[in-house]
Amino acid sequence: MPSCLDFVSDESLNAAKSRISLDDLFRKELSVHDPQAKWINDEELVYRSKEGNVIKLNVMTNETMTLLKNSTFVTFNATKYSISPDLNYALLGYDVKQVYRYSYMASYSIYNLHTREVWELNPPEVTNSVLQYAAWGVQGQQLVYIFENNIYYQPDVRNSSLRLTDSGKEGAVFNGIADWLYEEEILHSHVAHWWSPDGRRLAFLMINDSLVPRVVLPRFTGVLYPSGYTYPYPKAGQTNPSVKLYVVKVQGLADTVELRPPASFKSSDYYITMVKWINSNKTAVRWLDRNQKSSLLAVCEVTTGDCVKYRIVKGNEEPLFSNDGNTFFMILPEQQQDKGEFHHISEINVQILTSGQWEVTEILAYDENQKDVFVSRTHLSFCFFFPRVSYVGTFTRQCLTCNIFKDKCTYFSAEFSSDLQYVILNCQEKQNFHFCFLIAFPLQLTLPANFNEKDQYPLLLMTDEAPGSQSITEKFHLDWDSVLSSSDGVIVAQFDSSGSGFQGLNIMRQIYQRVGVLEVHDYLKAIQYCILYIYINLFIKETICAHTYASFLTFVKKLYQRSVCFYGTSCHMTVFTFG
């Protein structure tokens, strides 16, 4: 049984004793410290302490070594860092400017951890560059960075850079980095490249937005006329970006091979939603047609570019492969009596390993020696548990976190060491910020400080961000709604309606080809349910906070609710107020 390495802090916010202001959200004291712990081998990891020092920890001996002091971050005004695989250098990012949700521009310095020598990371014949991405590879001092939508590679910190692509074009052709659509809706990351396990090859997407219609986002900067930021934004029925998948050999003579889609996808619009290396010579790729009716998992040979259809899949989660590549595990729908389908872990070819009216959310690791699969899952209490499933002989399940810090935390993220003997548990649980009750769907209320049932309060309803998402979890967060509840006497309601995730596929698929219909009826029912509580005064003010898809729901909801007198607010980049 794996040992557990814990980073849970005993310190917690006591919201009942002090009110939270908007300024508090930007105070370091109220931010959650993320140690950003990463395994570097079977027994050692690197993390950043609360004091800002980067520390190497040996989990066997409990010995620590400071690799980088916080004073170094202050000296170079660095806000991002990463340590080279050989532990000799640090990559420091500074002057960071956010682009979209995940992407950012930054300048980078390479810092020698032993001699304290430092120099800038720049493309050849360029000085003071601002890069779209920079990171270490998987071996030694490998570096990969992206400048002007092209990928550059350095075999070590002293060698000159090699440009791996030359087709990059600002706002049009993206190599190894996502455009807006792929970052926000498909990959949920700005990184669109993947290292092979041995560091000899790099797979990357080339996303071409040349034919995609543009949208202009006004920027009000205090001058008389606002400027506009233009970026590709495909709407329904408009041209989508085209995408190709390449693998380039970075050692020896650079050789680039295109991984071609299976025949059934070659003549149609498609997305590439997942790329994962099986071993140093093969990758698994998921292709999805534009209508999202057909999703195909293919295995591609990177030396020839041939991709062979492996199976048609329903989900979008990454498969987990055994070392020999002959066995893999996926999250697939499984019928649960009369409650419909729920996502569970399956061994391919197909053997369902878990069951029940709860859902597997991630496959974390596979122990080939013990034949154990480690997963994370949701439960009806909206907590994330961490069970081990044995798939040899009689299937058994064992929850590894249910009795660890049970009175402190039930919502974890986890990262295993490579030998599966240790696991980093990152507690992300809320602490006494709300109480929950159920109607037809989960509804969660956050009550103001000094709440009194005899008083009346305005209501803020937070809507789902996207179909298949989940609003109600035990995960901790501090945001604008926390300020309204704590300081302005607002009751904050979160609600998982029809179309929400992690409650089975019956609920998630209810809105198929009926987006904006059932969800709105559910929200109206939730508000009517809230009115039954005398301390919620809907006729004083009702407010809706929404983002992207939820903004659409907000406006549709108002069409259904014209007979009710209220004020409403829809939040998406800019705040719109209407009455």
Q: Taking the domain 166-316, which CATH number applies?
A: 2.140.10.30
Q: In 3D, which of 44, 53, 129 has the Cα closest to residue 90?
A: 53
Confidence band (pLDDT; 50, 70, 90) for 321?
Answer: confident
Longest Cα–Cα distance of the chain, Å, equals 76
pLDDT value at residue 169: 96
Q: For residues 215 and 238, is the Cβ–Cβ distance under 8 A?
A: no
* Integer Cα distance of 204 and 193 in angstroms: 4
Helices (H), 39-90: 70-75
Report pLDDT digits (tens) over 114-146: 999 999 999 998 999 999 999 999 999 999 999
For the chain, domain boundaries: 166-316, 435-578
Q: Is the pLDDT of residue 534 over 70?
A: no
DSSP string, 229-254: EEEE-PPTTSPPPEEEEEEEE-SSS-
- Cα three-residue angle 247-99-181, rounded to 5 degrees: 55
Secondary-structure percent of the chain, ordered helix, strand, coil, rounded to 5: 10, 40, 50
Q: Where on the phi/psi map is residue 64: left (φ > 0), alpha (ψ -120 to 50), or beta?
A: beta
What per-residue confidence (pLDDT) applies to 549? 54
CATH code given to domain 435-578: 3.40.50.1820
Neighbours of 119 (CB within 10 A): 11
Amino acid residing at 304: T
Who has greater pLDDT, 461 or 240?
240
pLDDT value of residue 251: 82
Convert the pLDDT of each residue in 50-77 to its tens digit. 999 999 999 889 999 999 999 999 999 9
Q: Which residue has the tokens 């709407």?
A: 235
CA angle, corner 176, sides to 160 and 415, nearest 5? 100
Q: List the beta strands (DSSP E) in 166-241.
A: 173-175, 193-195, 201-208, 214-219, 227-232
Kindly report the length of the chain: 579
Greater pLDDT, 41 or 328: 41
Q: What is the reported pLDDT for 5?
A: 45
Distance CA 468, CA 290 (A): 18
> Who's near 514: CB < 8 A, 6+ residues apart?
none
Asked if residues 54 and 35 have their Cβ atoms less than 8 Å apart, the reply is: no
| Contacts for 394 with CB less than 8 Å, ≥ 6 apart | none
Distance CA(5)–CA(37), nearest Å, equals 11
Distance CA 199, CA 89 (A): 18
N- to C-terminal Cα distance for the chain? 59
Note whether 40 and 87 are within 8 A (CB): yes
pLDDT value for 58 = 92
Highest-pLDDT range among 331-345, 499-513, 526-540: 499-513
pLDDT at 326 over 80: no
Helices and strands, counts by H and E, the chain: 6, 42
- Token readout for 148 is 């002007």
